[in-house]
């Protein structure tokens, strides 16, 4: 398994079967609902995870976010973020 720093751009990430992405309207924040716990997502993490739909590879996710956020370091940060979630078992 590759580490969080080494994510293949051809990998097509998708949420694991036991993980659900939800938006909490009361707190206006995105959540990852896992068995027996909830992870509160910060910043644009929810936007990144919405693109992990099994149709977009990492390269396409980075390209989409780079177009939406010009000048942001998405090419450096997004693959590392996805790698961390994969290491946690939240993405497959």
pLDDT tops 70 at residue 5: no
Q: Which pLDDT does position 54 carry in this prediction? A: 94
Tell me how far the alpha carbon of residue 28 is from its chain's centroid: 18
Contact 88, 15 (CB under 8 A): no
pLDDT digits 0-9 by tens, 29-81: 999 999 999 999 999 999 999 999 999 999 999 999 999 999 999 999 999 99
Cα separation, 60 vs 39, in Å, equals 25
Q: What is the pLDDT of residue 71?
A: 95
pLDDT score, position 6: 65
Mean pLDDT of 15-37: 96
Q: Is the pLDDT of residue 12 over 60?
A: yes
Look at the chain and count its residues.
Answer: 92
The residue with greater pLDDT, 73 or 6, is 73
The Cα 67–Cα 60 span in angstroms is: 11
What's phi and psi for 83, nearest 5 deg?
Answer: -60, -40
Burial track 56-89 (b if 16+ CB lie within 10 A, e otherwise): bebeebbebbeeeeeeeebeeebbebbbebbeee
């Amino acid at each position: 398994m590759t580490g969080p720093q080494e994510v293949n751009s051809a990998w097509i990430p998708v949420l694991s079967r036991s993980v659900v992405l939800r938006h909490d309207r009361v707190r206006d924040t995105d959540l990852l609902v896992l068995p027996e716990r909830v992870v509160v997502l910060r910043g644009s993490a929810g936007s990144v995870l919405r693109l992990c739909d099994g149709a977009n590879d990492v390269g396409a996710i980075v390209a989409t976010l780079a177009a939406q956020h010009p000048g942001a370091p998405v090419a450096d940060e997004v693959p590392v973020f996805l790698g961390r979630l994969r290491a946690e078992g939240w993405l497959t």
